[in-house]
Structure 1
Amino acid sequence: MLLRVIEQFLREFKMRPTTFGRRCARDPRLVFDLRLGRQPGDRIRRRVEHFMNTYRRSISQ
């Protein structure tokens, strides 16, 4: 489910997966690893969700 939300975010904001990973988790391979089946822990989930929410708010202002 988290991967689906990330993929939608990437399409919506035309952001590259490596940029997303670097900005939210300091891990440029994050999205690629999730696509390959990596299971994120709670900490990464929270960081990803916080980044997406913050990014959306900053764009809408």
Structure 2
Amino acid sequence: MERNLLHRIEAFLAESRMPPSVFGRAAAHDPRLVSDLRGGRAPGRSLICRVEHFMNKWRADFHAGRVMKRGDQRFREEKRA
């Protein structure tokens, strides 16, 4: 189950262009979530449900036009006038 969750998260990160730390903070208030899962952390049932809910809600909001793919904001070029 944990590996399956990690695969779904990795696919979501690629789809949303969201950095892992931003995802972890938004989905579970834990910026190290993805890193820990990659390192072998075993998530509990409630964490799995929170993460799945976040991904499903983000996708629904994206398709409704309420959120946009933002990518990693650390590398965004700033436009100056």
Report TM bin, short chain. Answer: over 0.9
Larger Rg: 2
Does 1:55 find its partner at 2:44? no
What is the aligned residue count? 61
Instruction: Say what the alpha-carbon RMSD is for the aligned residues.
Output: 0.3
Q: TM-score, normalised by structure 1?
A: 0.99
4+ aligned runs moved over 6 Å, structure 1: none
Q: Which has the higher contact order (CA 8 A, sep 6+)?
A: 2
**Structure 1 residue runs without a partner (length 5+):** none
- In the other structure, the counterpart of 1:22 is 25
**Structure 2 residue runs without a partner (length 5+):** 65-81
CA distance in 2, matches of 1:32, 1:60: 28
